[in-house]
Structure 1
C-alpha cells in the first residue's frame, strides 16, 4: 500500500467518521477545510455555513464551481421521555426498514453519547403487526438512562443532532470501501482531490471547491453558496444508485460500481444542461476515462439549485455509484473516485472563457 493511498484513505476516514447532520455541519466542515485550505488561495463560508475554497487560474477566467455536500442523513432529539428514552425527528430521507436496532451517536453539549434505535419487541406484536414495517414515529433511542433527569445530566437536550455509527472500513477487496456518510463525503473528497491535482497546473478559470450544508433537507447550502460565488459553470458531485446488487433490474438502475462516474441526465431537481453534458462526455472519451449515464426519477443533487441561481448556470451532476445509501453503512468503489477526479480535472483545464460562452449560448 503506497503512502499516497494511505493519505487518501485517512482523508476518507476523517471525512466519513466525523458527524455532520443537516444544520450541524461545523465539525465536518473543519475537516474539509483542514484538507483543502493548504491547496487553496482562500477559504471562507457563506452565512449558512457552507465552506467555499478558491483556486485562482487565469485572473479574468470563468468561475467553475464543484460542490459536494457536507451533511449526512441524521436525526434530531425532539423529546426526552420521563423514563429517559429519546424521541426524534428525521433529518433527510430515512427508510424505516434500515433503522431498527442500529447504533447512533447523540451530539450533546457534554460530548457524544451512544445509543440504539428501539421499538416495541416483535414478540408482543400481533401476527398482522409483525408483517408491517415499524413506523418511524413509533421508534425511540435508548441511551441507557433511567429517567429524564439522568438523560439531561448526560447533557442531552432537544435540538441535539444524532448520526449513525459506522467506522470507515477497507473491505477484503481493498477497492471496496464501506462507511457511513458516503452521501456525500465522497463529493467533498473529490473536490479536495481536484484542488490537489490542479496545484501547480495552469487552468483558464477560477475554481471553487464547495462543501455545502443542508443538502439532505432541500439543497439549501447550494443555493446560498452559488448566490455568493455566482459561478459560470457548476458541477454537483454526489452519490448515485448502484444497480449491481441482487434484485435490481437494468431498467431500474443501470450503473455498476468500478465502471466510472455517473453523468446524470435527469433527476427530480434538474434536467442536465445538454451542452455541458456533451462537453463532459467528449472530454471523457478523448482521455479514455470510463463513465456511465444515469437517471433518477426521485431525488436530486445540489445542481438542482445551482442551475437556477441568478440568470441560470449551466450545471451537471456527476455521481458515484454507491450501494445502500441513506442507511448506516454504504459501499463504493475506489476506482470511481479516481475516475471522477480525473474527469473533472481534464474538464476544468478546457473550460476557458470562449468554451464557457459557447456552452451558455448552446
Structure 2
C-alpha cells in the first residue's frame, strides 16, 4: 500500500468511527491503533482523552499537540408511544441542516438506521415554509411501530446518534468529504506528527493528544492538559473557509488549499503572540503556505489548555473545512499535509532556550 493509500485508509477509519461527546471510544481506539507505533507511551486521562508521549530530549520542554476525538451529533432522550425518538443535540447545530438527514442510532444491541423526520411541503402553509423548524420539535424515525418495539431494538435514553456520511474521495482527489472532519483531522495530524518524528532527534517531549468532549465545553482539553502540564501547546482543529457562495471576507478569510489557518483570535483565546510569530516564521522559512484567520463565534481546545497551571502559551492551527457542524463536510488534502509539515518543523526547533524565549520574552 502506498503512503497516500495508507493515509486515506487512516482518514476513513477515523471519520467513519462513531463518537459524539462523551462517547468517544470508537475514534479513540482508531487513534490508539495508529499512534501507538510512534509513541513511547500511550495513556488516558480520567474521562477518556488519549495521550501519546514521544521523548526526544527528556530534559526539554513538553509540547502538547491536541486534536479532539468527539464529533457533533445527538443523544436519545425519550421514546414516544409510537416509537419515535426525541433527542438532545450534542454540539452546535443549525436547524436547517438537520431535517431529513440520515442518522445511525448506536444501541447496546448494535447500530440502527434512522432519519430525522420532516413534513412534506404539500401540507406546509406558506408562513411555516419560511421558518426553520425548532429542533425541540424534531424526532428520529427508526422504523419502529411502537415504544415497545423500539425498546426491543435495544434503544435507550442516552444512546448516541451520529450523522451518516461515509468517507469519500471526491472527483478532484484533493477534496475529501466525510461526516466528522471536526475534528478527526486534528487527530490524524497528531498521529502524523509523531510518525514524522520517529527516528528524528527533537529537543523536547511531544504529546500527541486526542481530547474528549470539546464540542460541549473543551472538557478533555482541561483534564489532559492537567495530566501533561505542558510548556507550550499547538492545538489542531477545523476552521471556517470563506470560499463558498454566500460567504464573504467579513465571515471568514481563508480558502481551501491555501494552507493551514493560524488563528489569531477566537472566543476562547487570544493567540500567544510570541508563539504565533515563531510558528509563522517557521512556515515562511520552509515555504509552507499558511493563512491568518479569526473566529469571533467559536473556540478550540487552546481555550482551556492555555489556562492550565501557571499558563501555557498556545496557538490554534486549523484546517479550513466547508459545511462545519453538518452531516457532511469537505477539506483539502494539501492543507492537511502542510499542517503536518509545519508542526514537525516547529517542534524540531522548540528547544529549552526557544521555549524560554517564547514564554518569558
TM-score range, shorter chain: over 0.9
How far has the Cα of 1:269 moved from its partner? 0.3
How far has the Cα of 1:179 moved from its partner? 0.3
Q: 1:132: which partner in 2?
A: 131
RMSD (CA atoms): 0.7
Taking the aligned partners of 2:249 and 2:101, their CA distance within structure 1 comes to 31
Taking the aligned partners of 2:246 and 2:12, their CA distance within structure 1 comes to 30
Residue 318 of structure 1 pairs with residue 324 of structure 2 = no
Q: 1:242: which partner in 2?
A: 241
Q: 1:100: which partner in 2?
A: 99
Question: Are the aligned partners of 1:119 and 1:138 in contact in 2 as well (CA < 8 Å)?
Answer: no
Question: Are the aligned partners of 1:101 and 1:118 in contact in 2 as well (CA < 8 Å)?
Answer: yes
Q: 1:77: which partner in 2?
A: 76
Q: 1:80-159 counterparts in 2 under 5 A?
A: 80-159=79-158
SS at match of 1:22: coil
Unmatched segments (≥5 aa) in structure 2: none
Taking the aligned partners of 1:232 and 1:142, their CA distance within structure 2 comes to 49
Q: 1:178: which partner in 2?
A: 177
How far has the Cα of 1:59 moved from its partner? 1.1
Taking the aligned partners of 1:320 and 1:265, their CA distance within structure 2 comes to 14
Q: 1:285-296 counterparts in 2 under 5 A?
A: 285-296=284-295
How far has the Cα of 1:246 moved from its partner? 1.1
Q: 1:357: which partner in 2?
A: 356
How far has the Cα of 1:121 moved from its partner? 3.3
Taking the aligned partners of 2:285 and 2:295, their CA distance within structure 1 comes to 27
How far has the Cα of 1:253 moved from its partner? 1.0
Deviations 1:64-109 (A, max 9, x none): 0000000000100000010000000000001100011100001100
Q: 1:198: which partner in 2?
A: 197
Unmatched segments (≥5 aa) in structure 1: none
Q: 1:46: which partner in 2?
A: 45
Taking the aligned partners of 1:280 and 1:131, their CA distance within structure 2 comes to 46
Residue 9 of structure 1 pairs with residue 8 of structure 2 = yes
Q: 1:208-247 counterparts in 2 under 5 A?
A: 208-247=207-246
Taking the aligned partners of 1:27 and 1:71, their CA distance within structure 2 comes to 10
How far has the Cα of 1:231 moved from its partner? 0.1
Question: Are the aligned partners of 1:264 and 1:272 in contact in 2 as well (CA < 8 Å)?
Answer: yes
How far has the Cα of 1:267 moved from its partner? 0.4
Q: 1:33: which partner in 2?
A: 32
SS at match of 1:38: helix
How many residue pairs are counted as aligned between the two chains?
361
How far has the Cα of 1:123 moved from its partner? 2.4
SS at match of 2:195: helix
Q: 2:333: which partner in 1?
A: 334
Residue 274 of structure 1 pairs with residue 244 of structure 2 = no
How far has the Cα of 1:153 moved from its partner? 0.6
TM-score (norm 2): 0.99
SS at match of 1:236: strand
SS at match of 1:335: helix
Taking the aligned partners of 1:131 and 1:282, their CA distance within structure 2 comes to 49
Taking the aligned partners of 1:317 and 1:292, their CA distance within structure 2 comes to 12
Q: 2:160: which partner in 1?
A: 161
How far has the Cα of 1:252 moved from its partner? 1.8
TM-score (norm 1): 0.99
Taking the aligned partners of 2:153 and 2:293, their CA distance within structure 1 comes to 46
SS at match of 1:340: helix
Taking the aligned partners of 2:182 and 2:330, their CA distance within structure 1 comes to 10
Taking the aligned partners of 2:89 and 2:301, their CA distance within structure 1 comes to 20
Taking the aligned partners of 1:126 and 1:138, their CA distance within structure 2 comes to 17
Q: Stretches of 4+ moved more than 6 A in 1?
A: none
Taking the aligned partners of 1:227 and 1:116, their CA distance within structure 2 comes to 40
Taking the aligned partners of 1:17 and 1:50, their CA distance within structure 2 comes to 19
How far has the Cα of 1:249 moved from its partner? 1.3
